[in-house]
Amino acid sequence: RGGYESASKHFNPADVEVDVAGRSFLVTGANSGIGKATAKEIARRGGTVHLVCRNKERAEAAKEEIVKETGNQNIFLHIVDISNPKEIWKFAEKFQNEYKLNVLINNAGCMVNNRELTEDGLEKNFATNTLGTYIMTTALVPLLEKAADARVITVSSGGMLVQKLNISDLQSGNGPFDGVMVYAQNKRQQVVLTEQWAKAHRNIHFSVMHPGWADTPAVRSSMPDFYERMKNSLRTEAQGADTVLWLAVSAEATKLPSGLFFQDRQPVATHLPLAYTHSPPEDEEKLMELLEEFSQKFKSISSG
């Protein structure tokens, strides 16, 4: 929280005091934590918000709270499990026929501490954090390409700084399983995805960010020891969401190049000094190829 408090002294409040009526935003994992805080702030500014959530009851409660607190009726709910690639494809294809989209916020994520497989035989963290983010984004790129001032923001984590991209074991099947490190690897993958997308799609502004460590239900459930030690110095959900909101609505954000990693409204380095976490360009290209193969396999199943 201290980091946020000192950084925020230099924020320009006018950056986010904007009216976004008529613009459409999609937020994944929007029923709690940073996703819900972001959705609420966008709703306050008049935006049309699509909440993409896995749990119907919690999602309906979140929608009700957002409508009640903001008075914005343009809040739509979609029940999709981001760890299920077939569901994402079905959702995206339907969504493109019914709505427009200006801004995609990839916030849904998970940190599962034991190796669990989804019904498709995918390791759960990879399925949600990496493949789910990849499919949601690539499936909606054609819709975003048609929009004015289109943006994609992915909520990563500073934890990725301890990981070098590893494409040899995307589903963490080799050696002992460490959920925290698997999560950090997924978050490194999200940074690489963002950099690659920025090169491939020049009409869309891509960014990835670290929200700082915030007091969210996800942190409480997946990192209980860390939470107990740090709970008095964690950021609030709104503080964690601040840079997401800034990247989503401010005119300042898109003056900076596409593909950067942000913390507290500033671009920051994606590697620590002397950390040896840089990977060769061919590994980054290979990651895209492997994810595209997975993606197409599930696309053909979902349309079949």
Question: Which residue of the set 134, 183, 227, 276 is catalytic?
Answer: 183
φ/ψ of residue 235, rounded to 5: -75, 160
Reported as type and span, the H/E element at residue 208 is strand 204-209
Task: Say whether 183 is catalytic.
Answer: yes
d(C-alpha 52, C-alpha 71), whole Å? 20
d(C-alpha 133, C-alpha 224), whole Å? 25
d(C-alpha 233, C-alpha 136), whole Å? 33
- Write the single-letter amino acid at 283: D
- DSSP per position, 39-99: HHHHHHTT-EEEEEES-HHHHHHHHHHHHHHH----EEEEE--TT-HHHHHHHHHHHHHH-
Residues acting as catalytic residues: 183
